[in-house]
Amino acid sequence: MISYFLTACDHTSPAGADAFAELRTELALIPSLRFAELHRPAAVETYHRDGAAPRAAMRFVFESIEALESQLMPRGRLHTLVRSSLWRHIAGEQMTQQAMLTRTFLPLRNIPRDVDGEHACSYLVHYPGQAEDFNAWLGYYVRHHPQIMLDYPGVMQVQVFTRLDWCDAMPFERAAYMQRNQLTFPSIDALMRALDSPVRARMRADNENFPTFSGGAKHFAMHTSFVSGL
């Protein structure tokens, strides 16, 4: 699977819960879209203390890079949608984009069909820096860290996303994060309980074993709603 991330550059004015309603209807019409996730900031501070979350973030899931790229070109429905006033109202003028390979360790079993609700909370993580040896970094990471994440109580989804190249004609700056992670829980309370569980100490201990990298990691708790594709 290919995941395409769009993230608002504005961290000062969170999108409201009602702002996504009309957008969800439009996104559901994107050809070849498997599903999408819409994220807006949750009003909580976790122990990572990484500051204000982006106003809005989105993940679009496609079966193939070709299916994604067809939507990022001038005749693509997503390409057209991001130039609309509706889109600017929700996400603002500036966003970053990044297409990535999806590595699924725990799939979301059922995508909620009630598009009017926020059914979950996701912990969105990204690594903005570089590994000294990316092959060593990734080899260690995918064999160890997600396996600990799976032990978080109540976790519904565990995914790691890694870099790839893609073509587009979108009006957004490209991000070049070496990796992203996503953990999804049924509620904000469930996320906070998980982060207060003994698993947190195991995660921190494993951090000490990571191959050398720079830039740290950013963590944002986000309300999550879902859009099923055609």
Instruction: Tell me the average pLDDT across 209-218.
Output: 95
- Locate the domains of the chain by residue range: 2-228
What was the pLDDT predicted at 16? 66
C-alpha angle 210-159-120 in degrees, rounded to nearest 5: 125
227 φ/ψ angles, rounded to the nearest 5 degrees: -125, 120
Q: Taking every pair of C-alpha atoms in the chain, what is the biggest distance, in angstroms?
A: 50
| Beta-bridge partner residues of 97 | 6, 174
Confidence class of residue 70 from pLDDT cuts 50, 70 and 90? very high
CA dihedral 151, 152, 157, 162 (to 10 degrees): -80
What was the pLDDT predicted at 118? 63
Bridge pairing between strands 95-106 and 173-174: parallel
What was the pLDDT predicted at 114? 47
What was the pLDDT predicted at 99? 99
Confidence class of residue 36 from pLDDT cuts 50, 70 and 90? very high
Q: Taking the model in full, what pTM does it have?
A: 0.92
CATH number of this structure's domain 2-228: 3.30.70.100
What was the pLDDT predicted at 115? 44
Between 22 and 198, where is the model more confident?
Answer: 198
What was the pLDDT predicted at 15? 66
Segment (H or E) for 96: strand 95-106
Between 96 and 87, where is the model more confident?
Answer: 96
Encode pLDDT of 154-204 as tens digits.
999 999 999 999 999 999 999 999 999 999 999 999 999 999 999 999 999
What was the pLDDT predicted at 53? 82
DSSP 101-152: EEEEEE--S---S-TTS--EEEEEEEE-S-BSSHHHHHHHHHHHHHHHHTTS
Confidence class of residue 9 from pLDDT cuts 50, 70 and 90? confident
Distance CA 8, CA 78 (A): 16
Encode pLDDT of 90-139 as tens digits.
777 689 999 999 999 999 886 655 444 566 899 999 999 999 999 999 99
**C-alpha distance from residue 35 to each of 40, 56, 163 (Å):** 17, 17, 20
Cβ 191 vs Cβ 182: under 8 Å:
no
